[in-house]
Copies of this chain bind each other. A is one copy, B any other.
Amino acid sequence: MRARKIEIIGIQGIPDIQKDMDIGEIIVDASRRMGLELRNGDIIVVSHIIVSKAEGRVVNLVDVEPSEFARKVAGESGKDPRHVELVLRESRRIVRMRRGLIISETVNRIVCANAGVDLSNVGVGKAAMLPLDPDLSAKKIRDRIRELAEVDVAVIVSDTHGRPLRNGAVNIAIGCSGIEPLLDRRGEVDMYGRKLTSKIICIADELASAAELVLGQADEKIPVAIIRGYVYKPSETPAKVIPRREEDDLFL
């Protein structure tokens, strides 16, 4: 019996990313240095933080002038008012707010804490915002990998988000290219021949969560993982289809 096996491999040797660096090229080079040629069908999961840095989505907090409202929110929570200001700038609406925790819908329509504005792994006194268009970021990395390594891979840009109902954050897909993010299994039959009626799986989020098992959250500098052996459905559907519309969500 042939084992159905998937591998998740952390890409080592990615440098500290600066503005305008070429993430696609860096991934191709780093994987080659590890003796790992990228293959058709590989899924490359990239932590958004290096994408944000390469795209110049980093600001020095000293350059941020907090509004009156940002100061008020910060005062009630012990947060840095400049951080709150950035969170508000990145938000199109506040979804929940309590004790300094801001859950908002970002300009990209992702509902998450702090609008994804990150103070970790950016450098002291700095903040990183989510990429402006994470699906486009994923596509650019994918195109560049195709150009340099002559392989067609899928790319997922990921971020670690808290969620309602359950403690602990999980890594999810905020952008993707080359893979269908939602796997629709309706119409397939179960082991007794009964039709599945409601089985849409967010395979992009599951892949992002799987990748985090090798991604370094802290100082390990592993911001990229290859998932090899999972047969995905090729597609140009963006990860934008994952956030549920307000009118379809029982919790919004």
Residues of A within 8 A of B (CB): 1, 3-10, 12-13, 16, 33-34, 36, 96, 98, 101, 103, 111, 119-124, 160, 163-172, 181-183, 185, 188-194, 196-197, 199-203, 205-207, 209-210, 212-214, 217-219, 221-222, 227, 230, 241-244, 249-252
Pair A252/B164 contact, Cβ less than 8 Å: yes
Closest to A196 in B: B120
Given contacts A4-B222, A5-B214, A33-B1, contact A209 B170 (CB under 8 A): yes
Closest to A188 in B: B218
Known: A120-B196, A165-B243, A205-B209. 16 other contacts (CB 8 A): A4-B10, A4-B12, A4-B222, A6-B9, A119-B194, A121-B192, A123-B192, A169-B201, A185-B217, A188-B218, A189-B219, A191-B221, A199-B218, A203-B213, A206-B209, A213-B230
* 9 A-B pairs with the lowest CB-CB distances in the bound complex, closest first: A168-B202, A210-B210, A164-B251, A4-B10, A209-B209, A96-B250, A206-B209, A188-B218, A6-B8
Measured CB to CB, the closest approach of chain B to A86, in angstroms, equals 16
Residues of B within 8 A of A212 (CB): 201, 206
Alpha-carbon gap, A207 to B168, bound state (A): 13
Q: 9 A–B contact pairs at CB < 8 A?
A: A1-B12, A3-B10, A3-B12, A4-B222, A5-B9, A165-B244, A167-B243, A185-B218, A189-B219
Alpha-carbon gap, A4 to B226, bound state (A): 11
Pair A124/B194 contact, Cβ less than 8 Å: yes
Alpha-carbon gap, A174 to B211, bound state (A): 21
Pair A201/B160 contact, Cβ less than 8 Å: yes
Residues of B within 8 A of A196 (CB): 120, 217-218
Copies of this chain present in the complex amount to 2
Pair A206/B241 contact, Cβ less than 8 Å: no
Alpha-carbon gap, A250 to B191, bound state (A): 39
Pair A192/B9 contact, Cβ less than 8 Å: no
Given contacts A213-B207, A214-B4, contact A191 B121 (CB under 8 A): yes
Measured CB to CB, the closest approach of chain B to A114, in angstroms, equals 9
Closest to A123 in B: B192
Pair A167/B103 contact, Cβ less than 8 Å: no
Residues of B within 8 A of A4 (CB): 9-10, 12, 214, 222
Given contacts A206-B209, A221-B191, contact A168 B5 (CB under 8 A): no
Measured CB to CB, the closest approach of chain B to A171, in angstroms, equals 7
